[in-house]
Amino acid sequence: MAGLSEPFTVGDLTVPNRIVMAPMTRTASPGGVPGPDVAEYYARRAAHQVGLIISEGTYVNRPAAGAYDNVPHFYGESALAGWAHVVRRVHEAGGRIIPQLWHTGAARTATEPPADVPSGIGLDGAPLGRAMTQRDIDDAVAAFAEAAATAERLGFDGVEVHGAHGYLIDNFLWGVTNRRTDRYGGEPASRARFGAEVVRAVRAAVSPGFPVFFRLSQWKVGQYEARTAQNPDELAHLLTPLADAGVDVFHGSTRRYWQPEFEGSTLNLAGWMRKLTGRPAVTVGSVGMDQQYGEGDFTSGFTGPSGVTGIDELVARLERDEFDLVAVGRSLLANPDWAALALRGELARAVPYDPSVLQTLA
C-alpha cells in the first residue's frame, strides 16, 4: 500500500501517511465535556498509525449551535480542559488531530432558542426556526473564528469547518433551505458567501500555516438524494469563494467513495473538488466496508453489520492523484488498528463492523 504510506504536508502540518480518522459523532461527552475516555479513544487510533484524526463534531459557542445531547462543546472551561487533554494524549501517541467545528443549523428541533437557519425553512421544506438576521450571521461567524483560535491555542494541528450534511453552513449552500433575497441567497456564489465569511474569519484568527479543512456534501441528514450542486459548473461556483477565502483542504463527504459524482466522469466528490480548486482533497465513504452492503438508508449502515473488503481500487485512485487523503469511519470503530493493518497490507485480519461497537468508546 505504498500510496497510503506516503507523508502529506499542508501548511505547517505534516502527517506520516494518508489515512485520516473521519469525524463521527459519539455522544459520549456528558454536559459537553470530553472526558479521559474520549482522549483514550482517539489516542488508541493515533497509536495504531492513523495519520490524522478529525474529531467528532464539536459545538461552537452560539446558543442554537447544538441539536443533540452529550456532544462535546468547544467553549467553556471544563470542555476546553477536556480537549486539551485529548490533544496531549494524541500527541503522546504520535498522532495529529484537528477538531471539527460545528453548528447544527436546521438539525435543531428545540424551540428555545429557535434553530438558526437562512430562511426559516427546514430540510423538508417546512417552517423551522427563524431566518438569521445580519447580526445573527455575524455572531455565528465570530463563534467559528473564536473556536479556531482556541484550537490553535490548545495545540491542535489545524481545524475543520463543518459545511456538510444539512447543518448550518450547508443550509446556506443548498437552494432548498436558502431562499434569501439578500447577498447571502440566489446564485451559487452568493449562497456560498456565509461559508466563505466563516472560512475567512477562521483563517484570520489563526496562524498562516495552521491548516483549515472544509467538509462539504451533497446529501443531507434524512435527505440522501439531495444535491447541492447539479453539475460541475455549479459546484465550481460554490467552491471558488470558499477556496478564495482560505480553505487549504476540501473534504468531500460521500456515502460510497467509489460512486461517480457526475455523469461522464469517474471522479467522486473529492476528485471534483481537487480538479476544480487545485486544493488537496479528502475522500470518504464506506472505506474497507463490503460494497454490497448499505444500498438503502445511510443510517442503516450504522445499525447493521457489514463485511470487510479490500482497498485496492481506493489506493489506485489515490495514486492517480484523484484525491490526497482517505478518511475512514466505521472500519476504524471496529478496528482501532485498521490503519496499521492497511499500511502492512493485512486487512484480511480486520474484523467486520458491528453496531455493538457504538455502545462504547473502544
Residues of 200-210 as b/e, b for ≥16 C-beta within 10 angstroms?
bbbbebbeeeb
Residues of 42-67 as b/e, b for ≥16 C-beta within 10 angstroms?
bbbbbbbbbbbbbbbbbbbbbebbbb
- Rounded CA separation 97/89 (Å): 10
Q: Please say if 41 is a catalytic residue.
A: no
Question: Is 246 within 8 Å of 209 (Cβ atoms)?
Answer: no
Q: For Cα atoms 82, 74, 354, give the angle at the middle one, nearest 5 degrees.
A: 70
Q: Cis ω on the peptide bond leading into residue 232 (within 30° of 0)?
A: no
Question: Is 183 within 8 Å of 240 (Cβ atoms)?
Answer: no
User: Residues 6 or more apart from 207 whose CB is under 8 A from it?
Assistant: 12, 152
- Rounded CA separation 202/222 (Å): 29
Q: What is the DSSP letter of 214?
A: E
CA torsion sign for 7, 239, 23, 35 is positive
- Rounded CA separation 316/313 (Å): 5
Nearest Cα to 155, choosing from 91, 71, 77?
91
Catalytic residue among 41, 59, 167, 353: 167
By annotation, the residues acting in catalysis are 167
